Structures are given as C-alpha cells and as structure tokens.
Amino acid sequence: MLAAAATGVQVGAAIVASRFVVADVPPLTLAMLRYAIGLACLLPFALPALRTLPRGLPLRDLAAMAALGTGQFGILIALLNWGLQSVAAAPAALVFSLFPLITLLLGAALGRERVTGALLGGVLLSIAGVGLALSSRLQGAGGGSWWGELAVFAAACVGALCSVLYRPYLRRYPTLPVSAFAMLASVLFLSLAAATESWPARVVAMDARAWGVVAFIGVSSGIGYFWWLYALKHESPTRVTVFLALNPVTAALLGWPLLGERLPPTTFAALGCIAAGLWLATRRTASANRQPAPG
C-alpha cells in the first residue's frame, strides 16, 4: 500500500512536470526519454537480479511482458502526453482518475477481481474527491478538444488493462527484472514511434531547463514504476490503482510553493474524501479478500 501511495504521488508530480515541457518536447519523444532514463536507473539493480530468474523462460511469457511493458510504459504515456497538448492538467487528471474504476470493471469481467460494495464505494468516493479537488480549476479550464480528452481516457483504459494482466507474471518472476524488461520493450517501441517526430534532432536541440525537467520525470518514473509493479505483485489491481487519486491533489499541493498557485478552498475537503475512499477500498472485510486474485 505504501508503494502504491508513493506511485500516486509520483504520477501527480510527473504530470505537472510534463506540462512544463510538452510544448517543447513532442509526446512520443518525451515518453521515450522518460523511460530510457528510468531504465538506466533500474539497470544497475536489475542486472544482478537476473540470476534469480528461472532458466529457460517461456517465449510466450517474454512476449507477454514485452507487450504489457509497451502498453503500460509506452502507449499509455504517449497517449497521455498527446492529450496534455490540448487538455489542461486539471480536466486531464479528472479523466485519468477513472483508471481504478476501469480496472475494477475489467478485473471483474475477466474474473480476476471480486467486486465488493466497499471496494466499489471506495473507488467512487476517491473519484469524487478528485473532482472536488479540481472543481475550481475545472470551471476555468475550458473544455479542451474532444480528441485530447479521448486520448487521456484511452491512456487510462490501456493502463487498467495492463494492470489487470500484469499480476500473473509479477507473481511468477522477480519485480526488478520484470520492470527493467518492460521498460526496455517500451523504449524500443517508442524509439521507432518517435522517429516520426525526428527525435534525434529534438534531443540535440533541448536546452538545460528541458533536460532538467525530463531528467526528473525519467528518474522518478524509474523508481515509481518499480514501486507500481511491486504493489501489483502483492495487492489486487484495483486496490493499487485507486491510489492514483492522490495525483491531482499532489499537483495542487506542489503548484502552491513551486508555481505560486493558490490552493483551491476545496483541497483539504478533497483530501478527506480521497482518504476515506482509500480506506474503504483497501480495508479487508472478509477472508476472501485476503486470497490472491486467480490467474
């Protein structure tokens, strides 16, 4: 739960940072740099852990983990960055906060998640808290473009599907090698996709300020997604993804000292609402909830 909460905070900080550079660094290039730096941070720790992997990993498992990594770390972030080009951070964060609800519905449809009243209520309460936290910004944010909002929603759907499908592999193999392999697959995919943005020339043209922001996003993402996969290894996908409700509150709290933005009057009420939702969604009410999800 602590790893999931830390990831929720990291996502909020990365969204704020992405807004600083998304006008200067195209979305696919930004996503590629994000995970190339994250991969470089994980490799020194992941390489020794390779010895713990069983010999003769099935090719189908490697292919599945590569596909999930490309989706979770490549397609999701590319869609989110693309959406942020035309949608303000507040409405984008609200749309993205549907992530845990989509995860719950997908998990239930695939038979990998048991829907309880407490879990559903906690998810909905956390989404309400996100809406409350963003209410003042949403009023003046403008509607943005429908394709930008659709891109953010698609990012949430991709992340939810990958979160549900990841768990069998995370329970079978150590988290560090899986994290590094997933990021490697995403970097290879994104390096090809970002060729349409002439990423080598873009990278050369980046100034020190842009590099500083991208470095922060990359390092925090490398650490954050290790925490994310570690949490998915030990908890159900919905109980992990519900902590993403912390990301818009984190953005608001960071914007106060760093950007001089006033805290909305509803911030602390939203925090209480989100905290209640997280407590409701993550509490254990029956012995069945202590059993790992099948598959």
- For 134-176, the pLDDT digits (tens) are 676 666 555 557 788 888 889 989 999 998 998 888 888 888 8
| Other residues' Cβ atoms within 10 Å of the Cβ of residue 70 | 23
User: Considering the entire predicted model, what is its pTM?
Assistant: 0.76
pLDDT beyond 50 at 128 = yes
Identify which of 117-131, 249-263, 273-287 has the greatest average pLDDT: 117-131
Mean pLDDT of 13-30: 80
Task: Give pLDDT, residue 287.
Answer: 39
pLDDT beyond 80 at 133 = no
Q: What's the mean per-residue pLDDT of the chain?
A: 82
- Angstrom distances, CA of residue 4 to CA of 63, 93, 164, 219, 281: 26, 17, 15, 17, 13
pLDDT band at 289 (very low <50, low <70, confident <90, very high): very low
Give the range among 150-154, 218-222, 242-246, 260-264 with minimum mean pLDDT: 260-264
**284, burial (CB in 10 Å: exposed 0-12, middle 13-18, buried 19+):** exposed
Percent of the chain with pLDDT over 90: 17
